[in-house]
Amino acid sequence: MSAKPEIHDDQVTVEIDGVAYRARKGEMIIRVADAAGVVIPRFCYHPKLPVAANCRMCLVEVERAPKPLPACATPVTDGMKVFTRSPRAIAAQKAVMEFLLINHPLDCPICDQGGECELQDLSLGFGSSVSRFAEKKRVVADHDLGPLIATDMTRCIHCTRCIRFLEVIAGQKELGGIGRGEHMRIDTYVERAIGSEMSGNVIDVCPVGALTSKPFRFTARAWELREYAAVAPHDSMGSHIALHTRGGRVMRVVPREEESINEVWISDRDRYSYQGLYAADRLTAPMVRRGDRLEPVEWDVALEAVADGLRRAVTEGGPDAIGVLVSPTATLEELYLLNRLVRGLGSSNIDHRLRQTDFRNQEQAPAFPSLGLPIEALERVDAALLVGSNVRHEQPIAAHRLRKAALAGAKVLFVNPLDFEFHFPVAERIVADPAGMVRAVAGIAKALGAGGAGDTPAARDFLKEIRPAPAERAIAQALREGERASVLLGALAAAHPDYSLLRALAMRIAAAAGATFGELPEAANSAGAWIAGAVPHRDAGAVPVLPAGRDARAMIESPPQALVLFNVEPEFDCHDAAAARRAAHASAFTVVMGSYGSEAAREYADVLLPVAAFAETSGTFVNAEGRWQGFRGAATPPGEARPGWKVLRVLGNLLGLPGFDYADSAQVCDELRAKAGGLTAEWRGEPGDIDIVESARVTGLFRIGEAPIYRTDPLVRRASALQKTELARDAVCRIAPKEAARLGLADAARVEVMQGEAHAVLPLVVDERVPEGCAWIPAATPGSAALGPSIGPVSLRVAP
Amino acid sequence: MTQSEQTATGGRAAALTPASRKAIDLWVAKYPREQRQSAVLSALTIAQEQNGGWLTTELMDAVADYLGMPRVSVYEVASFYSMLDTRPVGRHKVSICNNISCMLCGGDEIIRYVERKLGIRLGDTTPDGRITLKVEEECLAACAGAPMMTVDGHYHEHLTPEKVDAILDALE
Ligand code: SF4
Ligand code: FES
Ligand code: FES
């Protein structure tokens, strides 16, 4: 056979402004031009949104076409000749510009978008310098779109990018074109806030100053800002963001394009959380307890006090008398140095898994939790089972990718303790209490053949009695039929009292169905925390430590004599809020290293060390794919606050630990990289190694609760605009209608919630999304800060 | 599509009477199953009739929930078409064409005459609730009979002040 030249019959040749380009047949002219770097003006076109072709700014001349054609909606054909700067094209563009400016105010100096406005730029490039329009301009009344987005609808040019973004990307069509012709306006119609967790992106897509950021508005001009590349500090996607600063202060956050992670979007949490940097309770000076008062002191005094306290604890109680709880949003460098400090003092009591309760089988865990596939690949799965995940709020970017997959026909399947709402079609969902979740996952595993002759005795024994229900069989089948199937555990699985069991079963499901297995690591640096050795059973680089130190739960249940909290607020960040707060009080010497000194912290802290927050320190995060992403400090820490790695360096030296002489944070990172750079997220044991012991056999009512999207960490909890949104409302207790009837609470407006000693009074909402046997009470909220385990036994009675 | 909105309020479809629903179902049946929302115009017209000639937000929501479409999409449709009203109306709707052919044949004077006669402006309703003068009526496709108007959907052509008097005075 003779070799044939490869023929791409979907390729065509087009000529733009006299230069020939190869392009895919049917591609729009504007895409070909963009790829070639030929500038065509546009307003309504956006590469990530469906074509609307309503602004006409992109008119170009096409040979043999009787009139100018919109480049965004004209597909290329072979031999097509396009002219973007011919007299006809320029005349058309100029005319459109004149029309657009008829109703647009010409008051750029008082517009927040001035200086970064597409209309301003394009009118400079394509418009005329004098307006011939002397008539009255249209004025549009503004409506309140909530605390995040400011409007100036008179400036709107009706490009509909915002409508299309909310409908197509955010999956929640909340804005529409209301009215007709001259009277058309972009509006919600019924005045209400935009509720999407991705809503802020409409600010970026709006080409004019119609939609702007409410917190940022009128505080700075685009040209006064310095831009620093950074990595988003909340979920584990590692979205690329840019910090815009002025005078050392973060003025706003915008997305940076990174096709393989966040494309061009970011979640509202990543966009607006910077406000938390300027909260009233920022720690600005080191403080030491003298009697029952905290007094501001010099750094050296405070650091000596910490070194003394730690040394004393070790002398009096041995190395086990110290412990560290660290936030999974800390940088890799901070985590690694904390790990070195603790281990240097002979202890292994360090943990970042603050919301986890089941640590069985942690030895088999991979070097770090990971998705098991690239973020980008999430949009190409054809079946995905998520266990215990409100993915939309946990990882909005992952949810966006899954949404794309679901809209393309993928079967997205859930086993959840609450019937969460998703912005994509869900093929099958099982909603059950924690024990029911285990049974459901077991049923799916069984339907796929787990527990057979080849399985471990414990698994065979456990699965013997399981009879898969129809929904479980349907899920099993969807996964088996999927060619690119994936099984993922979310935050509610990680916090489940039978996490290890869910994981063992989920891994069996993945193996039997030929699916990838992964987790949605909770926070920006959950993966990094494992790598840096901020777990009691492994040193940096995932080197096993024997015997293992105490895990987060053990440290909370029996607090060490000296407890270090690194950016942790026990009453919000831990699985058992009440116990964690008690532990912070109970330990004889409590060190709070962090950015904030809340009232609670001032009660239990013996020393407070002000540490630079996100944006103020250099560092590295490892995302859910295992990608190491470094960033520089962009803003000035307030007062005496210093970057965490520097504080820990000095502390290491004060404690006489060797090798704490780092010149910069990069050196810390390099040292860790040498130990851990090659780590992969492979499992350390076969799922078959895992013992199956069921502990979630529940009697009575079970509390379930997640940390709501804007309550997950100290920074976002202080982001004032986000805290005003619907998604940040304080805790209520939700139970199923039948449960309410059974408990005699059908008419109760408020209930007393009791978990052992802990109790709180909360509003009661009857909600059919909650499974029977459960009370849905979110964690990490002021209303639930006094309560016990966020997933655990609870009882309710009518509030007195 | 916006499940969240719908489940959050438990769905408002109940605001449609059984008779309205039956009438809407006839329209729904004319379109492919996955294109229920094609029936939105008919559904809004039916809902409007149920409510004496205008659509409350509740009724628009009801149509959205019944057809399974985002509520704001229904607001878009309802606010676009001039035969759908989103504010209270009188017992009779009078639409005087103000498009080009009618304008050339004196439609403007007819509008002014009627405004003076009824003592209200376009877009308003007489205080006794008898007549709503609809705002800015586009070409109603009877240019040959310009100037023209519709009264409750019935066409009246070649209007003169006398003719208008007779027609409007006869309205209850
Ligand atoms: S508000 Fe902005 S994005 Fe929305 S239609 Fe108007 S100009 Fe376009
Ligand atoms: S960009 Fe092509 S018509 Fe708007
Ligand atoms: S212009 Fe009035 S009916 Fe056509």
Q: What are the start-end ranges of the E strands in A267-352?
A: 287-290, 293-296, 322-326, 350-351
What is the reported pLDDT for B10? 45
The mean pLDDT of A605-619, rounded to a whole number, is 98
- pLDDT tens track for A615-662: 999 999 999 999 999 999 999 999 999 999 999 999 999 999 999 999
What is the reported pLDDT for B7? 37
Q: Which of A212-216, A284-288, A501-505, A611-615 has the lowest mean pLDDT?
A: A501-505
Is the confidence at residue B6, as pLDDT, over 50?
A: no
What is the reported pLDDT for A462? 87
Handedness of CA A343, A344, A345, A350 (dihedral sign): negative
Residue B4 forms contact with A (CB below 8 Å): yes
- pLDDT tens track for B69-83: 999 999 999 999 988
What is the reported pLDDT for A312? 97
- Ligand 3 centre and the CA of B139: distance in Å? 4
Q: How confident is the model at residue B4 (pLDDT cuts 50, 70, 90)?
A: very low
- pLDDT tens track for A475-485: 999 999 999 99
DSSP state string for A538-583: EETTTEE-SS----HHHHHHS--SEEEEES--HHHHSSBHHHHHHH
Residue A737 forms contact with B (CB below 8 Å): no
The mean pLDDT of A285-302, rounded to a whole number, is 96
What is the reported pLDDT for A678? 85
- pLDDT tens track for A388-407: 999 999 999 999 999 999 99
Is the confidence at residue B61, as pLDDT, over 70?
A: yes
- Examine residue A319 and say whether the peptide bond preceding it is cis (omega within 30 degrees of 0): no
Is the confidence at residue A145, as pLDDT, over 50?
A: yes
Of A173, A175, A178, the CB nearest to B79: A178
Nearest to B156 by CA among B91, B114, B95, B109: B95
Query: Which ligand has an atom closest to residue A93 CA?
Result: 2
Can you tell me the distance from the alpha carbon of A376 to that of A260, in angstroms, rounded to the nearest whole number?
A: 5
CA of residue A518 relative to chain centroid, distance: 17
Of A174, A176, A423, the CB nearest to B76: A176
Q: How confident is the model at residue A71 (pLDDT cuts 50, 70, 90)?
A: very high
What is the reported pLDDT for B1? 35
Residue B9 forms contact with A (CB below 8 Å): no
Q: Which of A5-9, A364-368, B99-103 has the lowest mean pLDDT?
A: A5-9
Q: In Å, how far is A727's CA from the nearest CA of chain B?
A: 13
Can you tell me the distance from the alpha carbon of A92 to that of A114, in angstroms, rounded to the nearest whole number?
A: 25
Can you tell me the distance from the alpha carbon of A71 to that of A65, in angstroms, rounded to the nearest whole number?
A: 13
For A761, the 3-state DSSP assignment is strand
Mutation target to probe the A interface, by most A beta carbons within 10 A, among B37, B61, B72 is: B72
| Shortest-distance atom of ligand 1 to CA A159 | 8
Q: In Å, how far is B56's CA from the nearest CA of chain A?
A: 11
Instruction: Using a pLDDT cut of 70, give the percent of chain B over it.
Output: 94
Can you tell me the distance from the alpha carbon of A406 to that of A424, in angstroms, rounded to the nearest whole number?
A: 6
Contact present, A75 and A26 (Cβ < 8 Å): yes
- pLDDT tens track for A72-110: 999 999 999 999 999 999 999 999 999 999 999 999 999
Amino acid letter for position A354: L
What is the reported pLDDT for A175? 96
Q: How confident is the model at residue B137 (pLDDT cuts 50, 70, 90)?
A: confident
Q: In Å, how far is A67's CA from the nearest CA of chain B?
A: 26
Q: Which of A5-9, A551-555, A673-677, B84-88 has the lowest mean pLDDT?
A: A5-9
Q: What are the helix (H) ranges across B94-136?
A: 100-104, 107-118
Is ipTM strictly over 0.95? no
Structure tokens that stand for A592 in this block: 């709070």
The mean pLDDT of A4-25, rounded to a whole number, is 85
* B contact residues 67-126, partner A, Cβ 8 Å cutoff: 70-73, 75-76, 79-80, 82
Is the confidence at residue A699, as pLDDT, over 90?
A: no
**Which residues approach ligand 3 with their CB closer than 6 A?**
B 97, 99-102, 139-143, 146, 148
Residue A8 forms contact with B (CB below 8 Å): no
Query: Which residue in chain B is spatially nearest to A181 when comparing CA positions?
Result: B80
Residue A190 forms contact with B (CB below 8 Å): yes
Residue position matching structure tokens 């800015």: B136
The mean pLDDT of A514-535, rounded to a whole number, is 97
Terminal-to-terminal C-alpha distance of chain A: 89
- The CA-based angle A567-A568-A574, given to 5 degrees, is 160
CA of residue B27 relative to chain centroid, distance: 18
Nearest to A482 by CA among A431, A505, A516, A454: A516
Q: How many CA atoms lie within 13 A of A254 on its CB side?
A: 18
Instruction: Using a pLDDT cut of 70, give the percent of chain A over it.
Output: 97
Is the confidence at residue A280, as pLDDT, over 80?
A: yes
Can you tell me the distance from the alpha carbon of A747 to that of A695, in angstroms, rounded to the nearest whole number?
A: 34
Mutation target to probe the A interface, by most A beta carbons within 10 A, among B2, B56, B60 is: B2
Q: Ligand 1: which of A113, A143, A159 to mutate, judged by most atoms within 8 Å of the beta carbon?
A: A159
